Structure 1
């Protein structure tokens, strides 16, 4: 059988150092460093000047050809900054375009996170300052990077120099997210919500990406990683955003950079000030292993919801649909990364609250976590006859696939992540959350007290908090109640009620979160949910 035909130089150069492929009459390819969706990067020897270089082979199938290579090289050549990769040359070999760049030995931030684990907050702050400088130099030239992520940040061994690379999808300010060919340009986990519209975006979009990258640098995971592209896009545009536990002094800058409204987003100057303070502070909190930082709804409480602004919701939804269409028609989802490598994963959520009196259950955990995928509320008729409790006027009883039934206000929409279920109001301001898990050794009261101890760390402005033991349907339970400031100026202060109880070895947790000033409404929804809650309806009740 004839060997499979390879494009470009991979068939010749893939065997490592010592091969004979020379391009441009002077660059001898030696070994492949990485491969992305739009290009392959090689280590090469510049035989004319006697130095090592990196050579990026642009994939012909990715489009652009020599014109694309020249455009990318010109974009980067405009930006002179110590933290931006240097471009030396552009050449062609057998019709394939190549960009010759400086070789940064040491791998990418993605490599570092996968191999050595997360950075300490102060170290991440220094990295963030370097990237802010690189982005500032690009923005001063009217260039948006549009793909700031760990795989595109190189860490030079020995010197610690941080280098932003891969401007392959960079555009002048005002360019669109959806390419002329219908491809989604960029990495969804690090893409700002305004770019999800497929419309115009400015320098603030790169700053959003930097905020997501800082989360990944300290926790090992992107705050928007989900199991599907649709889930990622929904999390970016609509899901609640909670800076994960372990960010320590980086929380204010991450919160500011992950503000959905670009006009309210933290600017580069203020971000630099906050990062400088964190870097100068030294050490900071210890880095959090990736496995620990995924939010568990009970004791970890890594963060609270950041609902989108109602005024932008319709435009963002249209953009999300456009992006999903682009992705599902076979377009390239992730742009090339210089050295390849994956990015981490993370999620966040808001915590709940406790009712005031120690008596029969009444409390709710505020807020939910970024809903991964919306779905219509289960039909009330799906519940087996006689197995559900009646709903008050204005509510409907839903039999949830996760294994329980309860009453929620009519018109509320169901969303889920891998651990929790949420029912939210049409405007996203009111959230009812439910989670089941294995009962902990300390029981409901121990779980709530653990969450309360972390309240100030995970909920900005955490106050008016209390945890009390109680019962629910005669079973041991705990109530938690608190107020906090929300994660953005547009969200504002919120109040949460949360109740958890143990039943047949399962810990059930039900919470309600609303804006301050609507606590009476929250208490009504909370009481209705708890009075109507029945386990074992609609699916498996096992944790």
Structure 2
């Protein structure tokens, strides 16, 4: 009932995706009206979610009473396209995609939104590794529009519909989690868990048989088994599935590992010259106008640069010492140990202690996301930190590290700098010149208007295991004498998944002296 076009927003000079609703000619007027309402509901539902793993909705316009949804254009391939072109994905890559989709679903469920159509076709993997959940056309939410499914009608793909939804038509967060499990099963095995010749045969198997045997899942087997439980009350919750997915993502490669790329290479589509007729291979088209004389001009939206990672590392220089020259988040490593170029890269020592949940301080300006707490440090600052992460001091650094994971957070006290951006460029030359950051790629070094002046350094490099890592490091002068460096570290593939965390960390950070 629709087509998606790549289009050009001529006012803001950016590519967008435009979903054109094309109702079949045989639909009655009442059914057409239902389709229009569903389209608006899709836009409103997705617009409620501000999350890096959910496609962004920019606008809805009308043309001859038909709605068009204007949304973010993601240069990507769907998981379905990846399977068709490259075959099954490796367990590790599948797990990383699963973590991203799970993060999107948790954000949706927290907002009261049920997706109801999670499947490989609706999971996009961008060329830079970002994973996006799209197509909320079947979504519903509590306290909003009623579900638009009629009696005896099942909307969605039979291969990815939860048993209780196929049987009783009920939907809740657990049905989305079953669909996530079926999607990940298809990604790693190359076919859905109930691969049958017809929709009726699929639904019959769904009601009476266990999923087809897994042959390639390897470390994904526990989480897939838990998500594909027929009884929704025995099914894994999102909180239970996340550590299993994270363990599978970090598991050593086994005999089932596939050499497929983490992020697919997507060719840049041809761009028409200014004022020229648009090229039209496939469905590439420039939509000049939609509606009666109304240009597809998207409303201006506030754009916040969110620095994120799967891990957080906060370095704080020794409180008892005189302020030293800042190391930018940790001492430099030798060329033979690139993973230690930044602080807190080593395993936590026996003295490490888990972060304990604490009540918010008086006058807290915002609430932290679940699982995070306010940490007041003896070094003279306060910051958001994840509960139960291991906390220890490493030389001049205080570290917070995810147990069994790669996320790290750090804060380092040092002397103030007159030009923080120049300082980061100096550190960049020192570390890259010494061979401590192989495969180095600068993302950004730029000043930031924070406290008494600061600068951000964001970069990508390869660690000792050959994994591509991504970090954002904020140097902030808090007075004429004192400065802090707040660092956030993760794997490159997971950078976008945790985008909102570093924004929260940065906003929560406050010097106390």
TM-score (norm 2): 0.47
TM-score (norm 1): 0.44
